[in-house]
Amino acid sequence: MSELSHVDGEGRARMVDVSAKSDTTRIAVAAGELLTTAEVVALVRADDMPKADVLSTARIAGIAGAKKTSELIPLCHQLALSSVKVEFGFTDNTITIEATAKTKGPTGVEMEALTAVAVAGLTLHDMVKAVDPAATLNGVRLLTKEGGKHGHWVRPEHADSTGHAKVQESSSAAESSAVVLVASTGAAAGTRVDTTGPVLAEWLTGLGFSVRGPLVYADADIAVGLADALRFEPALVISTGGTGASPTDATPEATLAVLTRELPGVAEAIRQRGTAKFPLAALSRGVAGLAGRSVVVNLPGSPGGVEDGIAVLEPLLDHLLAQVAGGGNHDNN
């Protein structure tokens, strides 16, 4: 049995001495969700709460909370944080929260990421309590961490009653991780509300995926967004937006730069389905393919384009992911 790191040989609390550890880049991602009402979700998405600018306030609070973690958690070390990112998504009755903390140093940033989620969630609660005093902050948890002696760690998606990961025998959607990436300069700046990313996240969650995001990036930063989305080697990355002919639409170029193999039939099927109803759908330049073992698919940034993408992808995903994992059945019988 492993020993508790913050307890000494005599059972007393202590701060761990990290002076002998080497400095490495360390990243942690944490998540949580505020369970509330559909009315509150609609108000927040429309930025129409009595306390305005709900998400911006909660985002700033989460970042500030991460920076003060060592003051709030007594045995945490003071860290020079390189970056803290707090992002939100929506389902019918929840506001999802995801925080990514990064540093270069001798100890990890898990507590900073968790604190960011907790403080952002509590701030959301404060902002919505006039409408829903029964809102509940749930599921504050670490998703991934990397760096240091133990390297890369991902939260088990399926665990038994003891908390240990179950052994999985296939690579179906219900056992996979997915990332939703939104290319939108307006949504990244907070001047418009993205409606496509949450739809994709809710759809993938319903299929049994463990979903990260929506991650929202400006069009000019979509290459950085793709690197972020692929950082933990998810089974699937679906982007929305930035596939048109505008000079700022750069999602296909950024995607082609990371693909190791293309899946042109998938992208073409999505275009054909859209064009059958809306001729301008032919202007989408979205691509699909593999970045290592991650399937990456570009969808347009319109609700109709996302609807078409879902219709094409849903019957393909299980077989596609099984093939990528090496378990696909190529028999013709």
Residues forming the active site: 126
Q: Which of 33, 43, 62 is nearest to 130 (CA)?
A: 43
Write the CA distances from 99 to 75, 147, 197, 209, 328, integer angstroms: 21, 17, 17, 19, 35
> For residues 267 and 306, what is the distance between their CA atoms, to the nearest angstrom?
12
Q: Two tokens at 265?
A: 């039939």
Buried b (16+ CB within 10 A) or exposed e, 185-205: bebbeeeeebbbbbbbbbbbb
> For residues 258 and 78, what is the distance between their CA atoms, to the nearest angstrom?
36
3-state secondary structure at position 332: coil
3-state secondary structure at position 128: helix
Q: Which of 235, 201, 240, 199 is nearest to 217 (CA)?
A: 240
> What residues does 32 pair with on adjacent strands?
97
Please report which residue ranges of the chain form alpha helices under DSSP H: 38-45, 54-67, 69-72, 110-128, 185-189, 196-206, 222-230, 251-258, 264-277, 303-313, 317-324
Lay out the sheet containing 81-90: strands in order across. 81-90, 94-105, 24-35, 136-146, 153-154
